[in-house]
Chain A
Amino acid sequence: MNLNLTLKVWRQKGPADGGHFETYAAPNINDDMSFLEMLDVVNEELIAQGKEPIAFDHDCREGICGSCGFVINGRPHGPMKATTVCQLHMRNFHDGDAITIEPWRAAAFPVIKDLVVDRSTFDRIIGAGGFISAPTGAASDANLTLVPKATADLAFDAAACIGCGACVAGCPNGAAQLFTSAKVAHLNLLPQGQPERWSRVTSMVNTMEAYFGSCTNFRECEAVCPKEISIDFIAKMNRDFLQAKFRDRRKLVNAEAGEDAG
Chain B
Amino acid sequence: MELDAHIPPGPIADKWDNHRFEMKLVAPQNRRKFDIIVVGTGLAGGSAAATLGEMGYNVKSFCFQDSPRRAHSIAAQGGINAAKNYKNDGDSVHRLFYDTIKGGDYRSREANVYRLAQISTQIIDQCVAQGVPFAREYGGLLDNRSFGGAQVSRTFYARGQTGQQLELGAYQALSRQIELGTVEMHPRTEMLDLVVSNGRAAGIVVRDLVTGEISSHSAHAVVLATGGYTNAFFLSTGAKGCNVTAIWRAHKKGAYFANPCYTQIHPTCIPVSGDYQSKLTLMSESLRNDGRVWASKTKGDRRKANEVPEGERDYFLERRYPAFGNLVPRDVASRAAKAVVDEGYGVGDLGNGVYLDFADAIHRLGRTTIEQRYGNLFDMYAKITGEDPYTVPMRIYPAPHYTMGGLWVDYNLMSNVPGLFVVGEANFSDHGANRLGASALMQGLADGYFVLPATITGDLAGQLNTQPLPTTDPCFQQAEAAVKEQINTFLTINGSRTPDWFHRKLGRTLWELCGMARNAAGLQQARKEIGALREEFWQDVRVLGEGESLNQSLEKAGRVADFFELGELICQDALAREESCGGHFREEHQTPEGEALRDDVNFAYVAAWEYAGKGELAKLHKEDLEFEYVHLAQRSYK
Interface of A with B (CB < 8 Å)?
Answer: 13-14, 30, 32-34, 36-37, 40-41, 44, 47-48, 50-53, 55, 57-67, 80, 82-83, 87, 89, 91, 112-113, 116, 118-120, 122-123, 126-128, 130-143, 145-149, 152-153, 155-156, 159-160, 162-163, 186-187, 190, 192-193, 258, 261-262
With known contacts A122-B67, A163-B69, A139–B126 Cβ distance under 8 A: yes
Residues of B within 8 A of A162 (CB): 164
With known contacts A112-B210, A131-B173, A145–B128 Cβ distance under 8 A: yes
Q: Which partner residue on chain A sits nearest B143 by CB separation? A: A149
Contact A57 B137 (CB under 8 A): no
Contact A186 B67 (CB under 8 A): no
Residue B32 lies at the interface, judged by CB distance under 8 Å to chain A: no
Contact A128 B179 (CB under 8 A): yes
With known contacts A60-B74, A64-B74, A67-B70, A187–B131 Cβ distance under 8 A: yes
Contact A33 B179 (CB under 8 A): no
Contact B172 A130 (CB under 8 A): yes
Interface residues of B in 307-359 (CB under 8 A from A): none
Contact A190 B278 (CB under 8 A): no
Residues of B within 8 A of A142 (CB): 84, 124-125, 127-129, 134, 142
Contact A37 B175 (CB under 8 A): no
Q: How many A-B residue pairs have CB under 8 A?
A: 221
Contact A40 B278 (CB under 8 A): yes
Contact B72 A65 (CB under 8 A): yes
Q: Which partner residue on chain A sits nearest B449 by CB separation? A: A136
A87-B384, A193-B131, A261-B180 known, 14 other contacts, Cβ within 8 Å: A37-B278, A47-B498, A53-B544, A59-B241, A60-B70, A87-B383, A119-B67, A123-B69, A133-B176, A134-B126, A136-B453, A137-B450, A138-B129, A142-B84
A41, B274: Cα distance in complex, Å: 12
Q: Which partner residue on chain B sits nearest A141 by CB separation? A: B125
Contact B179 A127 (CB under 8 A): yes
- Give the residue of A30, A147, A159 whose beta carbon is less than 8 angstroms from that of B168: A159
Residue B133 lies at the interface, judged by CB distance under 8 Å to chain A: yes
Contact A140 B133 (CB under 8 A): no
Interface string of B575-618 (1 = CB under 8 A from A): 00000000000000000000000000000000000000000000
With known contacts A37-B278, A61-B278, A148-B140, A66–B165 Cβ distance under 8 A: no
A147, B140: Cα distance in complex, Å: 4
Instruction: Report B65 CB to chain A, min CB distance, Å.
Output: 6
Residue B552 lies at the interface, judged by CB distance under 8 Å to chain A: yes
Q: 3 tightest CB-CB pairs across the interface, nearest first?
A: A146-B140, A131-B172, A139-B129
Residues of B within 8 A of A52 (CB): 544-545
Residue B625 lies at the interface, judged by CB distance under 8 Å to chain A: no
Contact A127 B178 (CB under 8 A): yes
Q: Which of B47-55, B196-204, B257-265, B628-636 contacts A (4 or more CB under 8 A)?
A: B47-55
A118, B187: Cα distance in complex, Å: 10
Instruction: Report B254 CB to chain A, min CB distance, Å.
Output: 30
A137, B553: Cα distance in complex, Å: 42
Contact A136 B50 (CB under 8 A): yes
Residue B501 lies at the interface, judged by CB distance under 8 Å to chain A: yes
A156, B143: Cα distance in complex, Å: 14
Instruction: Report B4 CB to chain A, min CB distance, Å.
Output: 28
- Give the residue of A130, A139, A147 whose beta carbon is less than 8 angstroms from that of B136: A147
Instruction: Report A179 CB to chain B, min CB distance, Å.
Output: 12
Residues of A within 8 A of B552 (CB): 53, 55
Residues of B within 8 A of A14 (CB): 549-550
Instruction: Report B30 CB to chain A, min CB distance, Å.
Output: 18
Instruction: Report B77 CB to chain A, min CB distance, Å.
Output: 9
Contact B133 A159 (CB under 8 A): yes
Instruction: Report A126 CB to chain B, min CB distance, Å.
Output: 4
A55, B74: Cα distance in complex, Å: 23
Contact B239 A61 (CB under 8 A): yes
Residues of A within 8 A of B384 (CB): 34, 87, 89
Residues of A within 8 A of B175 (CB): 123, 126-127, 130-131
Between A and B, 24 residue pairs with Cβ closer than 8 Å are A30-B276, A32-B274, A37-B277, A52-B544, A55-B550, A61-B240, A66-B67, A67-B65, A82-B379, A87-B384, A89-B384, A91-B386, A132-B172, A134-B129, A134-B131, A136-B126, A140-B129, A148-B138, A152-B134, A153-B136, A155-B131, A159-B158, A163-B67, A187-B131
A119, B47: Cα distance in complex, Å: 22
Contact A155 B133 (CB under 8 A): yes
Instruction: Report B315 CB to chain A, min CB distance, Å.
Output: 28
Residues of B within 8 A of A145 (CB): 128
A237, B338: Cα distance in complex, Å: 51
Which of A34, A113, A131, A261 has the most chain B CB within a 10 Å cutoff?
A131
With known contacts A47-B498, A137-B126, A142-B125, A64–B75 Cβ distance under 8 A: yes
Interface residues of B in 175-221 (CB under 8 A from A): 175-176, 178-180, 185, 187, 210
Residues of B within 8 A of A112 (CB): 210, 550
Interface string of B106-142 (1 = CB under 8 A from A): 0000000000000000101111111101111111111
Contact B171 A186 (CB under 8 A): no
Interface residues of B in 12-61 (CB under 8 A from A): 47, 50-51, 54
Interface residues of B in 462-518 (CB under 8 A from A): 498, 500-501
Q: Which partner residue on chain A sits nearest B159 by CB separation? A: A156
Residue B273 lies at the interface, judged by CB distance under 8 Å to chain A: yes
Residues of B within 8 A of A66 (CB): 67, 69-70
A76, B165: Cα distance in complex, Å: 24
With known contacts A149-B138, A149-B140, A190-B131, A136–B500 Cβ distance under 8 A: no
With known contacts A91-B386, A119-B67, A149–B136 Cβ distance under 8 A: yes
Contact B278 A62 (CB under 8 A): no
Q: Which partner residue on chain B sits nearest A128 by CB separation? A: B179
Q: Which partner residue on chain A sits nearest B48 by CB separation? A: A136
Contact B171 A58 (CB under 8 A): no
Residue B161 lies at the interface, judged by CB distance under 8 Å to chain A: yes
With known contacts A87-B380, A261-B179, A152–B133 Cβ distance under 8 A: yes
Residues of A within 8 A of B140 (CB): 146-149
Residues of A within 8 A of B128 (CB): 139, 142, 145, 192
- Give the residue of A44, A87, A113 whose beta carbon is less than 8 angstroms from that of B549: A113
Residues of A within 8 A of B545 (CB): 52
- Give the residue of A60, A120, A140 whose beta carbon is less than 8 angstroms from that of B75: A60
